[in-house]
Structure 1
Amino acid sequence: MEVRHGRELNETRDRLERWRVKQAREAFRTGDQWSELTARLSVKEVSAFLAAECQIPRRDVARFVRLAKVLGADRELYIEKGVAVSVLLDLAGQDEAVRSEALRMIRSGRSLQSKELRALKRDISLERAAAEGALDRTRIRDLRNIAVRKARAGVDAWLASLEKVVNAAHDVSEFDMLKGNTLTMAPKKIDRLAIKAAKLVEELPALVGREFAKAPVPDRPRSGKSPGSWPEVFATLRAMAKRRMFIEHRYERPETTVMDFDPHIVAQLAWAFGYDGCTDGDKARDRMREAGSVPLATQPGPEPTPFDRRNKPTVLEICAGAGGQALGLHAAGFSHAGLVEIDGDAAATLKHNRPSWPVLNADLRGLDLSHLKGVDLLAGGVPCQSFSAAGMRLGANDERDLFPEALRLVRELRPRAVMLENVTGALHVGNAVNRLRILSALASLGYDAEWRVIDGSEFGLPQKRRRSVLVGFQQGIMHRFRWPVAIGTPAPTVGEALFDLMSANGWEHAGEWGERANGLAPTLIGGSQRKKGIDLAQEKSRQAWMKIAVNPNGRALEAPGPGVPADHNPKLTLEMMARIQDFPEWWSFKGSPQQAFRQIANAFPPRMAFAVGASIMRALTGREIDLPAALLKPLAEPEKVPSEFARKFSMEARRQSAQRE
């Protein structure tokens, strides 16, 4: 038995040795690739490429670069010995003396560990300092470490004393409720409490400094949230040291005065230990968010408490179109701080359907939006023709490319998150360099960003609509973001999605058509203002439409009526196109039929925007949602706008009420 186990262990060792050799060789090849790429592209662009599209951690990018440069001369030895990639990357960042000693150790047969490099660096530095007669900096470090430990011990002792004061104050408060007037019935307890509080106040400056210990108490109203702060804790202790711990109550019958112990004292002191006076989970999470912390839920919980209107994360949407993306982001919990759209008809569509939204009909180029600095999310479907096949994939060379304007707004407004949607052509090989420049620009602005393709059919859309989406966050947020995954249930076919509309005029063969239309629609293509006429497809996708029994050449004014043959392939009405694009039934489009078609077909469907928006919302707030369950519900309802009569009536009622007062 032992012999058999020994053979298994030997086989495992040999297999892992071969794997380590292979990994070491590939690590050096990655470094070589860097050198080749930087001969043609900038360092920032290649760094963005390795981090965003090759999934190499950002901290490792520079280390791979050094790997090829500083260890290249001895690469065959490192490969032969199968040195772990983590050790190679750490070694590449060391100075020449450490690298030389490590190389000798590896050549001797040592299996070097990364933690040994740090100790090696320390000891070699000591030898160098001794040889040069330099000062021993470790003595300063040792003193600092001792000072930190002593300070921590002092704070821990002070907090332990504070905890005793909190418990004593709680006992006095309980005594007050049971026995009545605390000031006259428990004077010794009050004296001891004041002495302990005075001692804590006296010890404070040595621990935190006089400025922090005497910081002014923030002027915040008392509420159910039980606000607190360290200055408030310190102020409470100072008041207790002066025996200001009571609230005077006067009663007329019988005429008497009672001094009650201040019930706020315990809550104000207990705040220091994390107690906020409320165990409600949603309120506790809100308090953490207000303080700048984000509790991250990993499983969907009960229906979350809706955001207060004032606390809703805000979004500035550029190139807003007819509102498909806006509907999805609004359903995900964002409040629109602004929607910018250059097309007058699309802007009119937004204003008509959502009068409360701040819509700006303007050209984005050079537009001053500085009043929106600090918005939570910058989102938009920047013009896609410059990245599409129909647009010749001109990318940055296309006058319609508005990515530079989007980056300008990121630089000026500093949003916490960015979401830019485009056609999948943005990820085409011909647009790789321009894509990397965008990632590089975001990285230089301090944003972590990724580019992925999502498919609308994976989220219940009856259409094979694949879009590329760029999502970025200020540093420190990306770790909470994950891309939405398919909900796991099949999307409805075109026949299932449109049957009621196709049979609305009494076509007796609508059911048979529905069986023939048993697939997903190809991507609706709206095109730019240069496109004339209405057709659903380019040449490549025309046959795909015919396979699901739909004529893509133009549009129908209405659904087929009685007497239309069973083998008829109908055209789609604008209403049918809007449903395929997931617009709600009540959403109406302004402008000519040509303009309405363009607004519908160019939209980012609401449920796709909702899926990505919900993932961004989770990263910003930590709130998890059940995406499949959420997509079963209507994402939007018509906005209830009072009639002109109702508005006038309300104004007159307020005027009369003011007169009476």
Structure 2
Amino acid sequence: MNSKSEALAAAKKRITDLQSQMTAKILAIAAEVEKLMDVTPEREVRDFLRVTCNLPSSELGTYMGFGRTLKGSEALLQKARVTFPVLKALVAADAETRQEIVERMDIGARIDTKEIAVVRKRLTEAKLTPEALMAQKNVRLVAAAARKRSADTAALFREKLASFALHLRKMNASDLALASLSETVRNDALELREQFTDIFGTSRRSLNKINLNSPAFRVAAANDALKRICEGRFGNSSHYAGVKKWPASDSQIIDVLLLLSGHPVPRRGWVRGRNAITELPPHRYRLKAIELCAGAGGMSIGLERAGFEHVALFEYNADAAATLRQNRPDWNVVEADITKVDFKPYRRMDIDLVAGGVPCQPYSSEGDQLGQEDERDLLLESSRVIAEVKPKMFIIENVEGLLHAKHGDHVAEFLRRVAKAGYQTEINRIRAEDYGVAQERHRILLIGIRRELAGSFRMPPRFPERRSNLGDALLDLMSENGWTGAREWARQRRDCPVFDRQGNLIAHGVLASTVVTRRGTPRTKEAARWGSKGINIGGLPAAAPTDAEASKPGYLPGLTARMRARLQNFPDDWKFHGGKQSVADQIGNAVPARLAQAVGLAAFAAIRGVSFDWEAMLWPGDRGRLQMTTPALYLDQPQLAPGRKKPEQNVRTVESAGDW
């Protein structure tokens, strides 16, 4: 045997062995799913597999249907080294097709998905008389022709609609007024409306009764726009007097026609042209948010920087609530237990976002991981808030331990509840280090969006090139009390090589371990982990190191509250209320501000349909001073009553290099 033949033979053996292993694993998963279905309702099994086991929805039906379609054929399927696509096609096939394919496998035939489709078609046609078969073929022929004609008609309609709308867009206000009186324009609109009715049918639903963000609204709005042009209710601002919802201007009528034609519409308002946004919008374009478990304000700062206006921030801890009020006197901080708050009145306020970092202790690897048995758990409570407020989106942050298998049923119940409330939810992981935060902080985000907005959300891009390090992040704070060794300490942290699990060098510059709340002596592993990074994590020093302290053998500096806050990306002028341990707890429980800002910008982009220049927003650098408006909410009330009018806006100037 020559070298080529040997190589082919060896490759064949390796590949067939791997195929056998893959088939065995697929069949083993199917067996486990069948066991689950014997003791658990099918819907719960589906949620459990999707959330806890990360099984794609496209695979769930195959595993769940295996027991009732192919049970007993495991040995044959293993012998044939069946792939997942073939198994999926078999489960989906009718019983007769499946039986023939299994018989073919039994005699050693090689089966693929195309073969299964051919057999299914042949068996279906065999049951028909020649006349019926010919009739069925003619039905398919007519359907294909109708689809082609429909596609051609739709394409012609879009082309005419785009030409018509673009012609109107080029006109100024006086030209539009004349166009509304033009018989030619009205006849063109009438012809387009007749074609519109042929494609979409007729609808008598009022625009005021259709959700503003739904596809049904876009179709109904286009119909209404053409009707207005036909009737001459166009080109005159008086036609829009008192209009609250749609349309409020000629431009909105033109825009909705352009969008329906598939033509991109330049954004209006504070966005000019197609350039990505590089600064916060004016106040009237801000979005409204309710924040749960706001803590010391890490997420709150990020959402504020992302263009959200807080209608209310809920926080149970008195010190944390005082921290929020001290730094943002104009925020409406509600010091309350959310389990005792009725959130339904907020639905009238058309809230854009409900966000919060619900307590992580029930799921943290540092704790007992009691999950739903922990009295501090608020996961399902947050689903109640979402259902009552009905925001356009929600963002719930927690630790990675939330996705531990033992919490699968609990997370699945959360997903069921928000799905029932009308949300599509995705689970994402995010790392603080990808946003220039000098800390190994990995978090889970449960992000839900109302179904009419589904598909519009995208996670923010990552910026690994913005990676920071412990030394650069803390150098100025470490040296502020005269420690002459601070610069060398920082250099060592900066130059330290970082390797992945396979031992490959991936970066230079060590990151801080996850900043957590801690009472008493740190655990041995935690102390060793921080020690390897040049930090003594035990204790809460009140001040930066001195030369006298650093002269002791084996000295490692500790982290002051301000250093911990810096690692959590709090602004340096952010003040914390409470004792030493309370402050450490507030900082450890926080969401890094820039991480929250990145996710907030992604949410804003999804809701408003805009694009951001991410680096300009997240790292404004030396862009100078930025004017930012925030609402002067009622400070004398514990909770802003839904429906109350807001007073005049306060404007404050924020230094780019400080809060930004």
Compute the TM-score of the two structures, normalised by the length of structure 1.
Answer: 0.70
Cα offset, 1:517, TM superposition: 6.4
Give 1:61's aligned residue.
60
- After superposition, the Cα gap between the structure-2 partners of 1:9 and 1:410, relative to the gap in structure 1 and judged at 3 Å, is farther
Deviation by residue 1:10-34 (Cα, 9 ceiling, x = unmatched): 9988876666555444332221121
Partner AA of 2:514 in structure 1:
T
Match of 1:491 in 2: 468
Q: Which residue of 2 aligns with 1:406?
A: 382
Could you tell me whether the CA contact under 8 Å between 1:480 and 1:622 is conserved in 2? no
Q: Which residue of 1 aligns with 2:506?
A: none
Matched residue type, 1:323: G
3-state DSSP of counterpart to 2:362: helix
SS of 2:74's equivalent? helix
The answer for the alignment partner of 1:603 in structure 2 is: 590
Contact 1:464 1:522 in 2 (8 A): yes
Assess, with a 3 A threshold, how the Cα gap between structure 1 residues 130 and 381 changes in structure 2: closer, same or farther. same
Q: Counterparts of 1:164 and 1:512 in 2: how far apart (Å)?
A: 68
Which residue does 2:543 correspond to in 1?
Answer: 558
Q: Secondary structure at the match of 1:365?
A: helix
Deviation readout 1:346-401 (Å, 9 max, x if unpaired) = 11221222233332111011421123336343321211222235542221111111
Distance in structure 1 (CA, Å) of the matches to 2:442 and 2:163: 62
CA distance in 2, matches of 1:8, 1:415: 61
Aligned with 2:380: secondary structure?
helix
Aligned to 1:251: none
User: Of 432, 435, 442, which residue of structure 2 is paired with 1:456?
Assistant: 432
- The one of 383, 406, 409 aligned to 2:359: 383
With over 3 angstroms needed to count, the CA separation of the structure-2 counterparts of 1:384 and 1:100, relative to structure 1, is: same
Aligned twin of 2:312: 338
In structure 2, runs of 5+ residues without a counterpart are: 213-219, 238-248, 495-509, 633-646, 649-660
Post-superposition CA distance 1:427-481 (Å, at most 9, x none): 4455455445545555565655455554434433333334444344455736853
Does structure 2 retain, via aligned residues, the 8 Å contact 1:52–1:450? no
CA contact (8 A) 1:313 1:335 kept: yes
Which residue does 1:658 correspond to in 2? none
Q: Which residue of the other structure, out of 358, 367, 370, is the alignment partner of 2:344?
A: 370
325 and 25 in structure 1: CA distance in 2 versus 1, 3 angstrom threshold: same
Q: How does 1:132-171 map to 2 (within 5 A)?
A: none
Aligned twin of 2:514: 523
AA partner of residue 61 (structure 2): A
| CA distance in 2: counterparts of 1:587 and 1:282, whole angstroms | 36
Check the 8 A contact 2:48/2:409 in 1, yes or no: no
Q: CA deviation at 1:58?
A: 0.6
Q: Distance in 1 between matches of 2:449 and 2:414?
A: 14
Give the aligned residue type for 2:543.
E
Note closer, same or farther for the CA distance 1:348–1:51 as it changes in structure 2 (3 Å cut): same
Alignment correspondent of 2:85: 86
Identity %: 26
For residue 56 of structure 1, report the CA deviation from its aligned partner.
2.9
Q: CA deviation at 1:323?
A: 0.2
Q: Is the 8 A contact 2:291 2:354 kept in 1?
A: yes
Deviations, residues 544-584 of structure 1 (Å, cap 9, x unaligned) = 44555544443333334575553454544322222222210
State the secondary structure of the residue aligned to 1:525: coil
Residue 44 of structure 2 corresponds to residue 70 of structure 1? no
CA distance in 2 between partners of 1:500 and 1:214 (Å): 62
Q: Which residue is 2:575 aligned to?
A: 588
Alignment of 1:14-29 (within 5 A): 21-29=20-28
Match for 2:225: what amino acid?
A: E
Number of the residue aligned with 2:642: none
Of the structure 1 ranges 480-489 and 590-599, higher mean CA displacement relative to structure 2 is found in 480-489
- Could you tell me which amino acid in structure 2 is paired with residue 554 of structure 1? G
Q: 1:385 to 1:92 in 2, by over 3 A?
A: same
Output aligned runs, 1:475-554, within 5 Å.
477=454, 480-482=457-459, 485=462, 487-493=464-470, 495-512=471-488, 514=490, 519-526=510-517, 537-547=522-532, 550-554=535-539
Q: Secondary structure at the match of 2:72?
A: helix
Distance 2:626 2:151 in 1: 56
* Cα 1:122–1:526 shift into 2, 3 Å: same
Give the AA of the match of 2:351. V
TM superposition shift of 1:408? 1.7
Tell me the residue number matched to 1:352.
326
Once the two structures are TM-superposed, the CA of residue 328 in structure 1 deviates from its matched residue by 1.9
Deviation of the 1:488 alpha carbon: 3.2
Q: CA deviation at 1:616?
A: 4.5
The correspondence for 1:233, drawn from 218, 226, 229, is 226
Q: Secondary structure at the match of 1:488?
A: helix
Shift in Å, 1:340: 0.9
For structure 1, which runs of at least 5 residues remain unmatched after alignment?
221-226, 248-263, 289-296, 644-649, 652-661
Number of equivalenced pairs: 585
CA offsets per residue over residues 175-221 of structure 1, 9 Å max, x none? x99xxx99xxxx9xx787777777777787666656669999x9x9x
The answer to whether the 8 Å contact 2:190/2:226 transfers is no
Structure 2 distance, partners of 1:562, 1:417, is 52
Q: In 2, distance between residues paired with 1:555 and 1:405?
A: 34
Select which of 540, 562, 568 maps to 1:575. 562
Aligned mates of 2:205, 2:419 — CA distance in 1: 40
Does structure 1 residue 470 correspond to structure 2 residue 446?
A: yes
- Secondary structure (helix, strand or coil) at the match of 2:398 reads strand
Larger radius of gyration between Structure 1 and Structure 2: 1
Secondary structure, counterpart of 1:368 in structure 2:
coil
Name 1:250's counterpart in structure 2. Answer: none
Change (3 A) 1:339 1:281: same
Alpha-carbon distance in structure 2 between the residues aligned to 1:501 and 1:358: 32
Q: Distance in 2 between matches of 1:403 and 1:170?
A: 49
Distance 1:553 1:28 in 2: 50
Q: Within 1, Cα distance between the matches of 2:192 and 2:480?
A: 80
Does the aligned pair in 2 maintain the 1:384–1:422 contact within 8 Å? yes
The answer to whether the 8 A contact 2:283-2:630 is kept is no
Conserved? CA contact 2:469–2:512, under 8 Å: no
Letter of the 2:592 counterpart: P
* Residue 639 to residue 347, structure 1, CA distance change in 2 (3 Å): farther
Query: Take 1:425 and 1:513, find their aligned partners in 2: how far apart are those partners?
Result: 33
Question: Separation in 2 of the partners of 1:463 and 1:164?
Answer: 54
* CA distance in 2 between partners of 1:468 and 1:266 (Å): 41
CA–CA distance in structure 2, aligned partners of residues 489 and 483 of structure 1: 14
Contact 2:319 2:578 in 1 (8 A): yes
SS in 2 for 1:383: coil
- Equivalent position SS for 1:345: helix
C-alpha distance 457-203 of structure 1, shift in aligned 2 (>3 A): closer
Q: TM-score, normalised by structure 2?
A: 0.70
CA separation in 2, counterparts of 1:285 and 1:112? 59
Q: Select the residue among 376, 394, 397 that pairs with 2:370.
A: 394
Q: Is 2:292 the partner of 1:318?
A: yes
Q: Which amino acid aligns with 2:472?
A: E
Aligned-partner SS, 1:317: strand
Q: How does 1:639-658 map to 2 (within 5 A)?
A: none
Question: Contact 1:524 / 1:537 at 8 angstroms: preserved in 2?
Answer: no
Once the 2 structures are TM-superposed, how far is the Cα of residue 487 of structure 1 from its aligned partner?
Answer: 1.6
